[in-house]
Amino acid sequence: MSIKTIAVLTSGGDSPGMNAAIRAIVRTAAYNNLNVMGVMHGYNGLINNEIKQLTSANVGNIIQHGGTILKTSRSKGFVTTEGMQQAYNNIQKHHIDALIVIGGDGTFKGAQEFGTIYNFPIIGLPGTIDNDLVGTDFTIGYDTAINTVVEAVDRIRDTAASHDRLFFVEVMGRDAGLIALRSGIGVGAEAILMPETPTQLNELIEKLTNDQRRKKSSSIVIVAEGEEEGGAYALVKRLQPSLPNFDIRVSILGHIQRGGSPTAMDRVLASRMGYAAVNAIIQNQSGFMIGVIHNKIAQTPFAQATKHIQTLDADLLKMIEVLAM
């Protein structure tokens, strides 16, 4: 089938780099004389016909901006038969031949179902700060999020050292601990608590107490929001009685991890993925998520491009323990 018009949407939690991906999609399509329609507010925009032409000029000067010019949503309507039918009617109304969706595993579940029901070409790009998807080494936004956390925790370390305090810093990631993992290593955290590794509270107490005895000037514990104790405040409530000599504070970093200017890594990753997605559609390929594995573009069928709780590299976990001495 000859492709003349591609639509693009962003769905689920936004992530820095989504705009770089949108830009790459539009510019690659224009280079190949294809039209691009931008769908606002994710799948809700498909249902509500919030669909508009996107030109090369529209995506000028956006590569450096976080967020998404197409806005996003967590669509409840798209999971209904009526919602999908309404979306398909609008796709036909605008003579859209293929769709590129940028989002996380929920986005891809919807894409897989819609593409199958309507035999419609869809390609996905992994846009989430959580980095929790099978089929790519890194998701769009992850590198920016961990750098945001590192910068924030470096600031916290300044005041922790001034007051000889112990900080528990909670980071995002939903049920994955990969933001905690790399940002924790990057800030030299005394401990990193993640859902992927069971938290040994007694060992943590002993380590922090020993650190204090050795006059460590500050202590930082990075806590993934999905960690089994239920986040930083719950953890501190549980630990406080066993840490009587500590001046403890909690910092929940929250949604600053979702914003900010994307790093060069995320801009390059997003550009490569957007470029590859359009070229795949031109070759009549679809039904998969584009990823980058060992620096090579990869295609993973939607059915496999799901959330995965990684088994973390044992050597990396050992390194964390050794370097936190």
Local structure of 292: helix, strand or coil:
strand
What are the backbone dihedrals phi and psi of residue 193, each rounded to the nearest 5 degrees, phi first? Answer: -105, 120
Segment near ligand F6P (CB under 6 A); pick from 31-39, 153-161, 167-175, 280-288: 167-175
* Nearest distance in Å: CB 130, ligand F6P: 5
Residue pair 51/39 in contact (Cβ under 8 Å)? The answer is: yes
Interaction of residue 170 with ligand F6P, rule CB under 6 A: no
Query: According to CB under 6 A, which one of 109, 165, 174, 307 is a site residue for ligand F6P?
Result: 174
Query: According to CB under 6 A, which one of 182, 258, 267, 272 is a site residue for ligand F6P?
Result: 258
CA distances from 322 to 5, 180, 205, 316 (A): 54, 17, 17, 10
d(CA 13, CA 129): 8
Identify which of residues 9 and 208 has a Cβ nearer to ligand F6P in the complex: 9
Interaction of residue 109 with ligand F6P, rule CB under 6 A: no
Segment near ligand F6P (CB under 6 A); pick from 40-48, 125-133, 275-283, 315-323: 125-133
* Nearest distance in Å: CB 74, ligand F6P: 6
Identify which of residues 78 and 120 has a Cβ nearer to ligand F6P in the complex: 78
Interaction of residue 42 with ligand F6P, rule CB under 6 A: no
The catalytic position among 105, 130, 143, 211 is 130
Largest CA distance in the chain: 71
Q: Which residues inside 48-67 make contact with ligand F6P, applying CB under 6 A? A: none
d(CA 26, CA 32): 10
Interaction of residue 13 with ligand F6P, rule CB under 6 A: yes
* Nearest distance in Å: CB 162, ligand F6P: 30
Identify which of residues 67 and 121 has a Cβ nearer to ligand F6P in the complex: 67
Interaction of residue 173 with ligand F6P, rule CB under 6 A: yes
Identify which of residues 172 and 220 has a Cβ nearer to ligand F6P in the complex: 172
d(CA 38, CA 22): 9
Beta-carbon count within 10 A of 169 CB: 25
What is the pattern of x (binds ligand F6P, CB under 6 A) and - over residues 198-227? ---------------------------x--
d(CA 137, CA 143): 11
The order of strands in the sheet holding 98-103 is: 51-54, 35-39, 5-10, 98-103, 122-126, 288-293, 296-301
Tokens (6 digits) for 103: 């989002």
Identify which of residues 104 and 184 has a Cβ nearer to ligand F6P in the complex: 104
Would you call 130 a catalytic residue per the annotation? Answer: yes
Query: According to CB under 6 A, which one of 6, 152, 172, 189 is a site residue for ligand F6P?
Result: 172
Local structure of 122: helix, strand or coil:
strand
Interaction of residue 267 with ligand F6P, rule CB under 6 A: no
What is the rounded radius of gyration, in angstroms, for the C-alpha atoms of the chain?
Answer: 22
* Nearest distance in Å: CB 266, ligand F6P: 15
Q: Which residues inside 129-158 make contact with ligand F6P, applying CB under 6 A? A: 129-130
d(CA 268, CA 273): 9
The H helix count followed by the E strand count for the chain is 10, 11
d(CA 192, CA 177): 9
Give, as one character, the DSSP assignment of residue 303: T
Query: According to CB under 6 A, which one of 44, 90, 128, 147 is a site residue for ligand F6P?
Result: 128
| Residues engaged in binding ligand F6P (CB under 6 A) | 13, 104, 128-130, 172-174, 225, 258
Residues acting as catalytic residues: 130
